[in-house]
Chains A and B, each alone.
Chain A
Amino acid sequence: MRKKQSFFLLPYLLWIILFVIAPMVLIVGYSLTNSQGHFSLQNFTLFFSKGTFIGMMLNSFWYALLITFFCLLISYPAALALTRLKNQQFWLMLVILPTWINLLLKAYAFIGIFSRDGMVNQFLHLFGLGPAEIMFTDFAFIFVATYIEIPFMIMPIYNSLKEIDPALISASSDLGANFWQTFRYVIWPLSWPGVESGIQAIFIPSLSLFMLTRLIGGNRVITLGTAVEEYFLTTMNWNMGSTIGVILIVLMTIVMVLTSRKQHKKEIKL
């Protein structure tokens, strides 16, 4: 029995050691050494002493937050609307389908749409506006990132909305709630797990959309993700790149621990 057990466990453990533990150890190791390979905290002191890094860090989280927020704002009503349609599986399929078109292709499309003589500016021209410089702005970056992530937000929200027992909606209205009250007190809290997994599915990836920053955001190093790429692949300073990576990991862990903490209800004495 023991031998059979290890037959299942061994390859998997090998994977964990080689591709989970080893890379973690290595990246932390690199962050704690200088270019000569000696132990040093200079990367961290550099990071926290230079305003550009701190600013970039705040920027990364601010952009990720904005992208997640706009996604939620657009996707929640769409998911709710979807639950009221006929042939929901078909429409859901149409929502998911664009995610199979390579992300880079969609980003590439926006190079055309946002260009100086592109669709948006032609449209603005009709109203006597423009031409606006849209390409290579933060707006363009956030817009395209939001666009790309929308299906990944609609999907989990839709699933959690579908799981709500329709009788609960009836019960709420039976007890005197109007549409907004039912939404606020019943639908929203019950769909929260879906919202939460949507946020998780978007917030983390939007920290590493360096290709969008490069293509649409104007080739500037504005987020930590871009910085990591810059240090690893352009300036070849792996130690500094690892440091930024480690800081990113630590920040993410803190955010996740904070958001996953359960709130305790107040006891009510009768």
Chain B
Amino acid sequence: MKKHIWSKVYFFLVLAILYLPIFYLIYFSFSSGSNMDHFKGFTWRHYQTLFNDGRLLAILLETIMLALLSSLIATILGTLGAIAIENVKKSGVKRLLLSLNNVLMVSPDVIIGASFLILFTTLGFSLGFASVLLSHIAFSVPIVVLMVLPKLREMDNSLIDAARDLGASYYQVFSQVLLPALTPGIVSGMFMALTYSLDDFAVTFFVTGNGFTTLSVEIYSRARQGIDLEVNALSTIIFLFVLLLVGIYYLISNQQGKKGSKLGGLLR
């Protein structure tokens, strides 16, 4: 029994280390000093600065918009792609498509960023919101494909036959049978695409140009100039927001019956 106690202690130690930097940031967001070494008296000042910083708030909003838009388009593309791959009859072609699909999954971000940069310049595409959006869509498509494919394979093929047998048109089969069966995969694929986009720094950094910035890039450039407690205030807000989302998710999944809804889809 003793072994179990130590394993618990160890787990909570790891958990504590995971949260330490986050709470460190939050703690100093209330410090009236200018560094993260010594706490100097409580203040809301950094939050006031943050909420008056129109530029940063705009970037925050744009980042969220970018994530929503890119994940939505990537989900549509990826779902179509998964269906297309599953429909391919020749196993050689299928394998080729799958390998090409996985190229972006296994490539280091710097390579993706660099090669997209070359691509956009070669095509004469100006760098900015559009190039970032296209890049985010591009690197989110393969994960959606990978999340939808297993659902397609699991699906009972006789379902489609049954629908055809009952007189459903091709479009009806797609919307009434295929899509509902794929929904769990599509949803988790979209969720992954969303986190990919919100999380990305490296690719965006390469293709962003001068006009457009995402939150990651903005934090990077501020952090390179040293400590800025406005960034701490921003992390508090982000943390609270994430906490809220997770709380809502947890409540919903708990209500939907406790048959162990898998959290797998929540990871990048």
Query: A residues within 8 Å of B by Cβ?
Result: 4-5, 7-9, 11-13, 15-16, 18-24, 26-27, 30, 74-75, 77-78, 80-82, 84-85, 89-113, 115, 117-119, 122, 147, 150-152, 154-155, 159, 179, 200, 204-205, 207-208, 210-211, 214-215, 225, 228-229, 232-233, 238, 241-242, 245, 248-249, 252, 256
Contacts and interface: CB of A to CB of B under 8 A. Distances in A.
Nearest to A155: B267
Contacts of B215: 102
Nearest to B26: A109
Contacts of B130: none
**Is chain B's binding surface mostly helix, strand, loop or mixed?**
helix
Given A15-B141, A94-B15, A104 B223 contact: yes
A102 B10 CA distance: 26
B18 A93 contact: no
Contacts of B22: 98, 101, 105-106, 109
Given A12-B84, A12-B141, 18 more contacts: A12-B81, A16-B97, A19-B141, A84-B8, A91-B15, A96-B266, A101-B22, A103-B201, A105-B238, A112-B24, A112-B25, A205-B108, A208-B108, A210-B202, A228-B111, A229-B206, A241-B114, A245-B114
Interface string B116-132: 11110010000000000
17 contacts: A8-B80, A8-B87, A11-B81, A15-B77, A18-B119, A23-B112, A23-B119, A27-B114, A95-B15, A101-B235, A104-B223, A107-B223, A112-B35, A113-B24, A238-B118, A242-B118, A252-B106
Nearest to B141: A15
Contact of A74 (B14, B117, B260, B266): B14
A168 B75 CA distance: 40
Given A26-B122, A105-B238, A159-B264, A15 B108 contact: no
Interface in B197-222: 198-199, 201-202, 205-206, 215-216, 219-220
A20, A103, A150, A233 — most chain B CB neighbours (10 Å): A20
Contacts of B162: none
**Is chain A's binding surface mostly helix, strand, loop or mixed?**
helix
Contacts of A99: 195, 199, 267-268
B58 interface: no
Contacts of B261: 89
Contacts of A101: 22, 235, 238-239, 242
B103 interface: yes
B87 A249 contact: no
Contacts of A214: 220, 224
Given A90-B250, A101-B242, A112-B227, A208 B111 contact: yes
Contact of B17 (A85, A103, A147): A147
A85 B215 CA distance: 36
Nearest to B231: A108
Contacts of B155: none
A129 to B, nearest CB: 17
B115 interface: yes
Given A102-B238, A108-B25, A225 B108 contact: yes
Nearest to B87: A5
Given A85-B11, A93-B246, A109-B24, A21 B100 contact: yes
B122 to A, nearest CB: 6
A115 B28 CA distance: 14
